[in-house]
Structure 1
Amino acid sequence: MRKLTVSAFISLDGVIQAPGGPDEDRDGSFAFGGWTVPYADEAIGAHVHGLLSQPFELLLGRRTYDIFASYWPNVPADSHSSAIADKFNAVAKHVATHRGDDLRWHNSHALNGELAGAVRALTHQDGADLVTFGSADMARQLLAAGLIDELCLLTYPVILGRGRRLFDDDARPSAFTLAHSAVTPGGVVIARYVRHGDVRTGSFE
């Protein structure tokens, strides 16, 4: 089976909307686009490169796909982001969308049918592991279905108050093990959590 990892830049209050730029996603009159930019450093870059160092394919919601498709194919060859761009442009991209006829980014494929079933079938196929970035609406549905094997969260020391969030009340209760953690010089906590069965409870009495 293929492993499914969700990677997200997340605020202290759980917002993951528009981390990369002011015009990335203004839905809901979101006013803080680009909130991760002041914290960018070599440690975060090294983490992203490490995450993508093994074979992978992308699993994306339609909104994130459109943002990526407008950016990564246009990254200059001499840019500091060119290595990531080369990988994103080459790998297979599986997209949760109702408009599968206009996926023009190279090697893009629309998921067919109900999301959870389509992703479950995808994880049972042979191939590289799946990595999701952003894609809050899709990620929440996958959390509800219990399909996410790993969460790779970069938690930024900001509270945004409003915006699209990763977690909601529909997430399936699940336990996770902290497999790795680090703190960047700017105070961003990088943590990788691996699914580890059901939630356990107890009593201090």
Structure 2
Amino acid sequence: MARLLYSATMSLDGFIAGPGGDMSWLTAHLGPNPEVGELIGRIGALLVGRRTFGGDDPHRGTEKEGKAFGGGWEGPQFVLTHHAPDTVIPDVTFVGDLGTAVKAAKDAAGYKYVNVLGADVARQCMDAGVLDEILMIVAPVLLGAGVRMFDRKDRGSVDLEQLRVTEAPHVTNLWYRVRYS
């Protein structure tokens, strides 16, 4: 059965996007990462937040713009939103509630990962008890402000079990299993 994995690159001070959702900071930290390269083949579907789906792209202005993992992955995407566009987008399904989106993404992923993209969707998955793992790729930069990796005010702590720590050029990969009490 599919597992939900939240993966993102974050600054050392815990931001996955800069102020206003700016992703341009990430461009300098993209590059060969064997952990991500191996993960891409294990992803069966994406569960994406609306702001992430329509937001800034670190590949802006290149042939990789608008493509998951810079074009390294293709497949079904499920975008969690209350405001679906009128235009049909191939391989993208807009879903209005978390439970339906998670089920649809898991069904599409089969035995592979559902990769969660977007801090708010990841928080909703965590709060619903359906997020299984977290892969944070830590970049050596301090953004100072922006979109936090998790913003769970007044929701208590969540224990994580370290699965592995790996190094890649200019980043550190931290992989955890979420442990719900």
Measured against the shorter chain, the TM-score band is 0.7 to 0.9
Match of 1:62 in 2: 50
Match of 1:36 in 2: 26
Amino acid at match of 1:58: L
Match of 1:165 in 2: 148
The CA distance in 2 between the partners of 1:38 and 1:151, in whole Å, is 23
Out of 143, 149, 154, the position equivalent to 2:132 is: 149
Once the two structures are aligned, what percentage of the paired residues are identical?
26
TM-score, structure 1 length as denominator? Answer: 0.70
Out of 22, 33, 48, the position equivalent to 2:36 is: 48
Q: Secondary structure at the match of 1:152?
A: strand
Match of 2:103 in 1: 121
Task: Tell me if the contact between 1:11 and 1:158 (Cα under 8 Å) persists in the aligned partners.
Answer: yes
Match of 1:110 in 2: 94
Deviation at 1:103, TM superposition (A): 5.3
Amino acid at match of 1:87: W
Deviation at 1:105, TM superposition (A): 2.8
Task: Tell me if the contact between 1:177 and 1:193 (Cα under 8 Å) persists in the aligned partners.
Answer: yes
Q: CA RMSD in A?
A: 3.1
Q: Secondary structure at the match of 2:54?
A: helix
Q: Which of the two has greater strand per residue? A: 2
Query: Gaps (5+ residues) in structure 2?
Result: none
Deviation at 1:110, TM superposition (A): 1.4
Post-superposition Cα deviations, 1:162-186, rounded to whole Å, max 9, x if no partner, equal 1011212255633222112112332
Q: Secondary structure at the match of 2:158?
A: coil
Task: Tell me if the contact between 1:60 and 1:93 (Cα under 8 Å) persists in the aligned partners.
Answer: yes
Amino acid at match of 1:17: A
Q: Relative contact order (C-alpha < 8 Å, sep 6+): which is higher?
A: 2
Answering whether residue 77 of structure 2 is matched by residue 93 of structure 1, we say yes
Post-superposition Cα deviations, 1:80-133, rounded to whole Å, max 9, x if no partner, equal x99962632xx1110111222435331111123x32x23453466472431123
Amino acid at match of 1:106: P
The CA distance in 1 between the partners of 2:42 and 2:126, in whole Å, is 23
Task: Tell me if the contact between 1:145 and 1:171 (Cα under 8 Å) persists in the aligned partners.
Answer: no
TM-score, structure 2 length as denominator? Answer: 0.78
State the structure with more CA Rg: 1
Deviation at 1:195, TM superposition (A): 2.1
Post-superposition Cα deviations, 1:12-62, rounded to whole Å, max 9, x if no partner, equal 2211115xxxxxxx62xx6x64223223332x2x33221111241011011
Cα distance change, pair 140–196 in 1 and its aligned pair in 2 (3 A) = closer
